[in-house]
Structure 1
Amino acid sequence: MPENIAPEPDEKEPNDLRITFHDASHPSGRAGRSNAFDRDQTRSLSRKRSLSRNSATSRRDLPSSPYSGVQIEYRTLSIHVSESRNLMQQLNVSQETGLSESSAQLRLQRDGKNTLPHPKTNYLKKILSYVFGGFCSVLWVGVVIFFICWRPLSNPPSPTNLALAILVIIVIVLQASFSAFQDWSTSRTMKSITDLLPSDALVLRDGQLMKLKATELVSGDLVQLQIGNKVPADMRIIGHSGDLRFDRAVLTGESDEIEGSVDQTDENFLESRNIALMGTLVVNGSGVGVVVLTGPRSVMGRIANATATAEERPTLIQREITRFVYIIVALTVVLALIILLTWVGWLRKDHFAYMNVVAMLNNVMGCVVAFIPEGMPVGVALTLMMVARRMKAASVLPKGLSTVETLGCVNVICSDKTGTLTQNQMHVNSVAFVDEPIAIQEAYANLSSDNVDAGVKMLLQAATLCNDATFEPSTLHLPVASRTIQGNATDGAVLRFSADAPVRNEKAEQPTKVFQIPFNSKNKWMLTMYKMPSENQALNEFKVFVKGAPDVLLPTCTAYWSRKSKCVMPLDATAKTAFKEYQDKLSKNAERVIVLCMKNMTIQDAMGTNAFSDEVTSRATDDLTVVGILGITDPPRPETLDTVRECRRAGTRFFMVTGDYGLTAAAIARNVGIFTGERDPDTVATIKANNDAETVKKLNDARVAGECRSLLLEGHSLGGLDDEDWSVICEYQEIVFARTTPEQKLRIVEEFRKRDNVVAVTGDGVNDAPALRAADVGVAIVSGSDVAIEAADLVLLDRFDSIIEAIRLGRLVFQNLQKVIAYLLPAGSWSEIWPVLLNVFFGVPLPLSSFLMIIICVFTDLFLSLSLIMEKEEFDLLSLPPRNHKKDHLINFKIYGQAYLFIGVAETICAHSMFFLYMWKKAGIPINQLFFLFEGYTEGFHGYTQDQLNEFNYTGQCVYFVTLVILQWGNILSVRNRRLSIVQADPFTKKRRNPWLLLSMLISLAIAIFVTEVPGIQTLFLTASVPIEFWFLPIPLALGILALDEFRKLLVRLFPNGPVAKVAW
């Protein structure tokens, strides 16, 4: 086998590791492996979920590594093959002291920081999507047509068409800018969430264990790995607790846990279990690894470098808006084709002088500009960004738009208990032996006496030694209650309990820990093994301490320390009954019960070997002696009770999913309001006895009627449930799932989702991550593990009740988006298309120019629609049921009816009436003479010159425009309330006050004055001054629009089941 050392000429540390490969094709010319080995390797690579096949690129696809100028072939690396001692020598690192700081700095300068290469953004593709996506693609057709109409079709060239082409380009740039700003805002939010994730590693350097930024790691660093950590670099495992496991789903897509090992388990670097890969998660146990590959040289780095940026899936809102765009574009194209065919087949023949090619193309573009609400994408983008800002102000960080929109649909919340519903500030409240409880102060006093009770001493010894928590060294001078804990909350509570005990002035030699199995959510126990020098043990004799859940450990216990008898007694049926009674007593008091056990163990295999670990693990819980019982309390968060009540009021069922004992979980559920009834909750026996359709219907009726039925299920019973059982379970109003594993949490989420529930999961631990990923909305607490934060869609930065504000804002954004769209469509689409249709098919002089259509869509209406973003909820959104995501769409037929057939028709009639009124009053041309006029509107008509007729038409168009602008004031005053009267919720007083509304009205009025009165605009875009009376006449019409909608709302309130209410939006 070739050596693994290939020093570079300028290498200052000749013994540092170099990567070599066993490949005949390697450019170095080193001998490769035999064909027989290649065949074995091929078989290894073909295994299911093979990392080398699914995640890393193939041999011929991998580019050259910048490191050492050789090609990295992960399948042929030999780092995992070397003995640990040889590897440490090659890396020039001491296992006792780690790297020196100076050596680490040299390697950092040489190899660079341990950061992943950022995927290159295809800016050209992004810019093209901004500029040509959505409505912009159709608008570009308009730009081309306007340019063609400018020249060469117009003779002389028409400056108006040139100006319109430039104006449409400005509209496109405006839409593209807002899309880019929205993407930038989303990326900033994602960065702020990424910044929340811990990026430190526990590293041994210069003999000191210190926290370093993961980006500062170099090859040769010794890193401690603990449950919940994310592996910061590719490393070789050189020691572990015996139950070390990794989740490689981030690389393989498979959630199967991979056991850690000190020894090589596979010829393939990617498959060997003594390699911990960067980005994978430590889901169980602990270990020590030596860094071998960092940054872009790691497996994760190569995948990040070789894989193109994944396409984002469109969210529900994006899909619905895209569908709306397709509908509008399709209608636009159809109308444009109808106009074109009408011109070709009729107007060009019968009314040639009426409409030439330029006029026809202008009408086609008028149709395009009229039917497309150009301001809608900007309004939608600003609405979503505004809500995201409100969420951030409420200490909620959503990762994307899908989170915001889905929150309004959530009807089930499955919440973890510890650290989510409770404060995660545990303390020992009760202490007992199997046959007798003992007060904590009495136990402490006994330790201070001359006659120390052996049982109390054993209990305190087990509490002290079977513990994975420590005090922060900088806080050791403080009282025990004020010290900072490093470790989980349960161990922290036990540590404070043992540390508060008085210490006798004995200079006894301290025991040496030789092995440990940390607590995990599957086993529900932890183990420590010690050499006890004071007990004259043989070399292969050890004392084992085990701490964990009674219902898991008690069946394997064979004896207990009897306080009454002062000796070890057999754990018979009577003792087990006494234990169970005391456990239930503490559990009903919402105390978590922990049992402390111990035993002596003789191991035949040598320490540090895999055989030693396997033997300890296999016999870990056999023949234990119970030495004590601890009752631990964790007070609920102050806001939890109100949060559960508010969720229930919002129509969202709130369930607890915990690893606690059933009675403990039920007691805590009552304390926080999840269980509300006085009767005992139903159990799996109830479900099994009543799992028919009739029971499902009764439960559903009871839930709808507000009658609460409670259910308590323990994890071990979930495996025996079938679909009928789950159908019954999913109808309960109050549920607590106790003694659950991560897999069972995942199944709970999947079963509820399977039955058309929209599920949110809240959690903060590693064991919550699978359920957080599977949920419609995963909600993590900022104080939780980095694994949970990464898996979640939403991060709560402060209080748990922020989730209520998030749900409210999720519902508010949906309602406000509907209001924005319902406001924009009447004037920005419907009232603009009819002038074009009258002009083409009925020969009426064009009542509204394309320029004025664009001004309405992009400027006057846009500013008014932005005021709707600032609207508060019309009524208490949390008193409404969650939105049905399958039926309640963002843009539906009711909104189309409101916008087009109700308000749109009214505005169209009013605006045309003002146009015809002006033509009659100022030009003396009655309405009947304007219809079917076609080429008759020319020199000599009613004795006017062509210039005079054009001036009348331009002014009439501006009258139509001003009328629409003012009519939209009535529309916005009506659309801001779907049900309430303006008298009940006016925008100027009370809690619905919206000062932005009046300001936006003034801005739209100023824009209307600007485009109609500025001489330069008049010359360029063919506008004209509007007579003063036509600025005031539309005001009563706008009030009429408001009154018309007020009458609709009145009918809906008076007759909620009437025909108007059924079609009202």
Structure 2
Amino acid sequence: MKDHNHHSQDEHSHEHDHDNHSHEDHDHGDHDHDGHSHHEHHKQMVQDFKFRFWWVLALTIPILALSPMIQDFLGVDWRFAGDTWILTALSTVVFFFGGWPFLTGLVDELKKKQPGMMTLIGLAISVAYIYSVFVVFGLDGHLLFWELSTLVAIMLLGHWIEMRSVMSASAALEKLAELLPGKAHRVKEDGSTEDVPVEELKVDDHILIKPGEKIPADGIVIEGKTNVNEAMLTGESLPVEKNVDDEVIGGAINEEGSITVKIHKTGDESFLSQVIDLVRQAQESKSRTQDLANRAAFWLTIVAIGGGLLTFFAWTLFTGQDLSFAINRTVTVMVIACPHALGLAIPLVVAVSTTLAATNGFLIRNRTAFEEARNLGAVIFDKTGTLTEGTFTVTDILNFNEEISDEELLNYAAAVEVNSEHPIARGILEKAGETWKVEDFNSITGKGVEGNVKGKSVKVVSPGYVRDENMEYPKDQVEDISSQGKTVVFVVLDDELHGAIALGDKIRPESRDAIDQLHEMGIQCVMLTGDNRQTAEYVAKELGIDQVFAEVLPDEKAEKVKEVQEQGMKVAMTGDGVNDAPALATADVGIAIGAGSDVAVETGDIVLVRDNPMDVAHVIQLSKATYSKMVQNLFWATGYNVVAIPLAAGVLFVWGIILSPAMGAVLMSLSTVIVAINARFLKMEGSGTE
């Protein structure tokens, strides 16, 4: 049972030994620099692909118009003196400027002996460009500049879309730093205050924190009394009362009175810095699954090089065809082996699934993690603000006699609570239908509040007050409610105990459906919370949770995620607070509740816009549908090579059937169209996730 203690939460919240958070020293300066530079570098790369794409697209239009093969295909003749040189000049710009990321990528992949998509693209555009230049200078063959420019344009577009979808989560560190205010009110020796930047604060400085302000650094209260909201940092669902000698954490919000705090931790030693470091470590150590398209590209590279060499030597060594014919066949094979569709197969599905996800209330920030969601074995939920609503609300009204109605009992209580900013008072006021006028209001130190309402003496008091006054009440009924992790206050009218009001963190109505749906998918459900065990066990029992970790400190949450991972399962973490950030980053898939803190949102791989746990199940369903589409698209993007490459090599030449580069382009375009249409059909599958 909990003392009201106007309304003390001593018994509700467990003791936090925040000193334990600084378990190791870290060089934050270096990490900050590296993390920031990595984030900036990633943003620059996205901008670079975008810039190159638009320029290449602009140059591709005249290249297509000037290409003889395109003119023949359209049945027009736009030839004029010097057009070939203009075509060559434009294509040279496209090759070196637009193709530069792929050419450098080719070199990097070959240095690492890991040929992939960059090798395939770099090889195809190099062969097309060099071959076409030779044709300009007299080699018998067809100009493939149009092939080069369209290939570069589509590959740049694909990489731009892809890189935008996998933006680094390093922004989480910036969001964490923003939790601290920029300035602090430092108390001078004469008692006056001066505003100074938080970075200038030193250990043993005295600072004044006014109501509504964020606490700038870890410290000890030396003067004043208040309630502090630490929910975003510790996961404790109720604001915690702070008196002299109590510890406060930088980043928490001072809700009520002014307090003076003596600083004892700053900079890297602070609780928030430790959380920042845990997030960074988890992000850096997270493994990345290899992209399906890269695996396909690796094998296509082998096919392209092997097929090209085989074609060249077969025609030059074993037939009577001339060198020009053999080169034409070889180039056609090499170019066709790099389908435009492969460059779009994954990014198109990513774009469609991202849009579909957004319309269904969740944002995909990390594509690799989103794809991994299809293999999840366990989902870990934070309790406060995720499975529960995170607000203190009236859950039960116990009326010990029938002289007044439940509504009247609540209104009497609300009347004397109207002057209080305490979360219990706010919960009662929100539930009350109307607010009656109170006179002779008074605070009963450590026990509650009292006043005169409609001619009656009204007290709203703690269980401690009721015990001290030896008042009789149905103890079994009250203890049953208290065992559910709820806080109970008593209402006394004219010195007679009339009833009790229970307040608790309300379970979201969607939570049960979400847990049931995950169980149907064969996924275990785990609850992880900084809240007390009694409350946690009650919520877990109500929802059918498989496993509970309660009274878990922020630096322990990531360890609990690892514990579940060590059971051999892929794990998703769902949470909304700063205390969840390390766990979100450690999990295979981090799912952030969007209504929570900015840092949880920035750390999460997937962000739920709504506070609806059902969206966790929707995420997993969409992940499965998306992966299925990716596999189908890769089949269409690469499958046509089974037909196109042998035809391009000339296996049916003896029957007069040979695939020209123009016909190869038609097949390639058809493959691209099929991939694009197939990606759009994801919407039909995804709609079933609702």
Query: Structure 1 length as normaliser, TM-score?
Result: 0.42
> Could you tell me whether the CA contact under 8 Å between 1:425 and 1:634 is conserved in 2?
yes
Q: How far 1:129 sits from its partner (Å)?
A: 2.9
Matched to 2:670, the amino acid is T
Q: Quote the Cα distance in structure 1 between the aligned partners of 2:404 and 2:532.
A: 27
> Could you tell me whether the CA contact under 8 Å between 2:362 and 2:606 is conserved in 1?
yes
SS of residue matched to 1:411: strand
Q: Does 1:354 align with 2:165?
A: no
Q: How far 1:658 sits from its partner (Å)?
A: 3.9
Which position in structure 1 is the counterpart of 2:248? Answer: 244
Q: Sort the Cα spacing of 1:238 and 1:496 in 2 relative to 1 into closer, same or farther, 3 A.
A: same
SS of residue matched to 1:408: helix
Which position in structure 2 is the counterpart of 1:299? Answer: none
Q: Sort the Cα spacing of 1:193 and 1:770 in 2 relative to 1 into closer, same or farther, 3 A.
A: closer
Q: Does 1:173 align with 2:153?
A: yes
Q: How far 1:177 sits from its partner (Å)?
A: 2.4
SS of residue matched to 1:755: coil
Q: Sort the Cα spacing of 1:409 and 1:230 in 2 relative to 1 into closer, same or farther, 3 A.
A: farther
Q: Does 1:363 align with 2:329?
A: yes
> Could you tell me whether the CA contact under 8 Å between 2:364 and 2:370 is conserved in 1?
yes
State how 1:996-1007 maps to structure 2 within 5 Å.
none
Deviations 1:945-1002 (A, max 9, x none): xxxxxxxxxxxxxxxxxxxxxxxxxxxxxxxxxxxxxxxxxxxxxxxxxxxxxxxxxx
Q: Sort the Cα spacing of 1:264 and 1:392 in 2 relative to 1 into closer, same or farther, 3 A.
A: closer
> Could you tell me whether the CA contact under 8 Å between 1:412 and 1:760 is conserved in 2?
yes
Q: Quote the Cα distance in structure 1 between the aligned partners of 2:180 and 2:249.
A: 20
Which position in structure 1 is the counterpart of 2:25? Answer: 49
SS of residue matched to 2:379: strand
Structure number having the greater helix percentage: 2
> Could you tell me whether the CA contact under 8 Å between 2:581 and 2:600 is conserved in 1?
yes
Q: Quote the Cα distance in structure 1 between the aligned partners of 2:686 and 2:42.
A: 44
> Could you tell me whether the CA contact under 8 Å between 1:131 and 1:173 is conserved in 2?
no
> Could you tell me whether the CA contact under 8 Å between 2:519 and 2:525 is conserved in 1?
yes
Match of 2:503 among 626, 629, 632: 632
Match of 1:853 among 651, 660, 664: 664
Matched to 1:810, the amino acid is S
Q: Sort the Cα spacing of 1:876 and 1:198 in 2 relative to 1 into closer, same or farther, 3 A.
A: same
Unaligned 5+ runs, structure 2: 1-22, 53-99, 106-116, 186-196, 202-206, 224-241, 253-259, 449-460, 491-498
Q: Quote the Cα distance in structure 1 between the aligned partners of 2:175 and 2:338.
A: 41
Matched to 2:340, the amino acid is E
- The alignment-based identity, stated in percent, is 17
> Could you tell me whether the CA contact under 8 Å between 2:533 and 2:551 is conserved in 1?
yes
Q: Quote the Cα distance in structure 1 between the aligned partners of 2:208 and 2:275.
A: 15
Q: Sort the Cα spacing of 1:750 and 1:499 in 2 relative to 1 into closer, same or farther, 3 A.
A: farther
SS of residue matched to 2:507: coil
| Larger relative contact order (CA 8 Å, sep ≥ 6) | 2
Deviations 1:179-234 (A, max 9, x none): 224445666999999999998969899xxxxxxxxxxx999999959999696xx9
Which position in structure 2 is the counterpart of 1:337? Answer: 309
Q: How far 1:245 sits from its partner (Å)?
A: 3.3
Q: Quote the Cα distance in structure 2 between the aligned partners of 1:388 and 1:566.
A: 60
Which position in structure 1 is the counterpart of 2:598? Answer: 786
Q: How far 1:342 sits from its partner (Å)?
A: 4.0
Matched to 2:481, the amino acid is L
> Could you tell me whether the CA contact under 8 Å between 1:752 and 1:759 is conserved in 2?
yes
Q: Sort the Cα spacing of 1:837 and 1:176 in 2 relative to 1 into closer, same or farther, 3 A.
A: same
Unaligned 5+ runs, structure 1: 1-46, 59-115, 206-216, 249-259, 284-302, 304-309, 450-455, 471-488, 513-527, 531-545, 551-558, 568-574, 597-627, 676-733, 880-1065
Q: Quote the Cα distance in structure 1 between the aligned partners of 2:410 and 2:609.
A: 44
Q: How far 1:122 sits from its partner (Å)?
A: 5.4
- What's the RMSD between the two structures over aligned residues? 5.7
Q: Does 1:324 align with 2:283?
A: no
Q: Quote the Cα distance in structure 2 between the aligned partners of 1:775 and 1:388.
A: 21
Q: Quote the Cα distance in structure 2 between the aligned partners of 1:235 and 1:585.
A: 38
Match of 1:869 among 664, 679, 684: 679
Q: Sort the Cα spacing of 1:281 and 1:757 in 2 relative to 1 into closer, same or farther, 3 A.
A: closer
Which position in structure 2 is the counterpart of 1:393? Answer: 359
Q: Does 1:819 align with 2:632?
A: yes
Q: Sort the Cα spacing of 1:507 and 1:635 in 2 relative to 1 into closer, same or farther, 3 A.
A: closer
State how 1:129-144 maps to structure 2 within 5 Å.
129=101, 133=105, 134=117, 135-144=120-129
Q: Sort the Cα spacing of 1:230 and 1:397 in 2 relative to 1 into closer, same or farther, 3 A.
A: farther
> Could you tell me whether the CA contact under 8 Å between 1:586 and 1:631 is conserved in 2?
yes
Deviations 1:563-608 (A, max 9, x none): 56379xxxxxxx9xx98x66651156x4524699xxxxxxxxxxxx
Q: Quote the Cα distance in structure 2 between the aligned partners of 1:282 and 1:50.
A: 8
Deviations 1:227-273 (A, max 9, x none): 99696xx999998964133599xxxxxxxxxxx973577xxx85676
Q: Does 1:641 align with 2:641?
A: no
Deviations 1:852-901 (A, max 9, x none): 212311x222112211112258989999xxxxxxxxxxxxxxxxxxxxxx
Deviations 1:37-83 (A, max 9, x none): xxxxxxxxxx962446644779xxxxxxxxxxxxxxxxxxxxxxxxx
State how 1:243-282 maps to structure 2 within 5 Å.
243-246=247-250, 262=262
Q: Quote the Cα distance in structure 1 between the aligned partners of 2:30 and 2:344.
A: 41
Q: Sort the Cα spacing of 1:499 and 1:165 in 2 relative to 1 into closer, same or farther, 3 A.
A: closer
Q: Quote the Cα distance in structure 2 between the aligned partners of 1:447 and 1:51.
A: 54
Q: Sort the Cα spacing of 1:366 and 1:799 in 2 relative to 1 into closer, same or farther, 3 A.
A: same
SS of residue matched to 1:761: strand
Q: Sort the Cα spacing of 1:865 and 1:430 in 2 relative to 1 into closer, same or farther, 3 A.
A: closer
Q: Sort the Cα spacing of 1:312 and 1:844 in 2 relative to 1 into closer, same or farther, 3 A.
A: farther
> Could you tell me whether the CA contact under 8 Å between 1:657 and 1:738 is conserved in 2?
yes
> Could you tell me whether the CA contact under 8 Å between 1:228 and 1:785 is conserved in 2?
no
> Could you tell me whether the CA contact under 8 Å between 2:175 and 2:598 is conserved in 1?
no
Which position in structure 2 is the counterpart of 1:718? Answer: none
Which position in structure 2 is the counterpart of 1:476? Answer: none
Q: How far 1:396 sits from its partner (Å)?
A: 0.6
SS of residue matched to 2:340: coil
Q: How far 1:374 sits from its partner (Å)?
A: 2.8
Q: How far 1:400 sits from its partner (Å)?
A: 2.2
Match of 1:121 among 23, 44, 51: 44
Q: Sort the Cα spacing of 1:50 and 1:763 in 2 relative to 1 into closer, same or farther, 3 A.
A: closer
State how 1:57-96 maps to structure 2 within 5 Å.
none
Matched to 1:586, the amino acid is I
Q: Sort the Cα spacing of 1:141 and 1:823 in 2 relative to 1 into closer, same or farther, 3 A.
A: same
Q: How far 1:390 sits from its partner (Å)?
A: 0.3
State how 1:365-444 maps to structure 2 within 5 Å.
365-429=331-395
- Using the TM superposition, name which of 789-798 and 652-661 deviates more: 652-661
> Could you tell me whether the CA contact under 8 Å between 2:339 and 2:637 is conserved in 1?
yes
Q: Quote the Cα distance in structure 2 between the aligned partners of 1:771 and 1:272.
A: 20
Q: How far 1:664 sits from its partner (Å)?
A: 4.7
SS of residue matched to 2:322: coil
Matched to 2:678, the amino acid is L
> Could you tell me whether the CA contact under 8 Å between 2:488 and 2:503 is conserved in 1?
yes
Instruction: Work out which of the two has the higher radius of gyration on C-alpha atoms and give 1 or 2.
Output: 1
How many residues are matched? 533
Matched to 2:470, the amino acid is S
Match of 1:752 among 564, 572, 594: 564
Q: Does 1:562 align with 2:467?
A: yes
Q: How far 1:642 sits from its partner (Å)?
A: 2.5
Q: How far 1:844 sits from its partner (Å)?
A: 5.9
State how 1:734-749 maps to structure 2 within 5 Å.
734-749=546-561
> Could you tell me whether the CA contact under 8 Å between 1:431 and 1:437 is conserved in 2?
no
> Could you tell me whether the CA contact under 8 Å between 2:415 and 2:438 is conserved in 1?
no
Deviations 1:363-406 (A, max 9, x none): 22122123333311113211110110000011111112123212
SS of residue matched to 1:418: helix
State how 1:572-971 maps to structure 2 within 5 Å.
584-587=479-482, 590=484, 592-593=486-487, 631-659=502-530, 664-672=535-543, 674=544, 734-800=546-612, 801-827=614-640, 829-839=641-651, 845=656, 847-857=658-668, 859-871=669-681
Q: How far 1:783 sits from its partner (Å)?
A: 1.8
SS of residue matched to 2:502: strand
Q: Quote the Cα distance in structure 2 between the aligned partners of 1:564 and 1:312.
A: 59
Q: Quote the Cα distance in structure 2 between the aligned partners of 1:228 and 1:415.
A: 29
Q: Quote the Cα distance in structure 2 between the aligned partners of 1:419 and 1:51.
A: 33
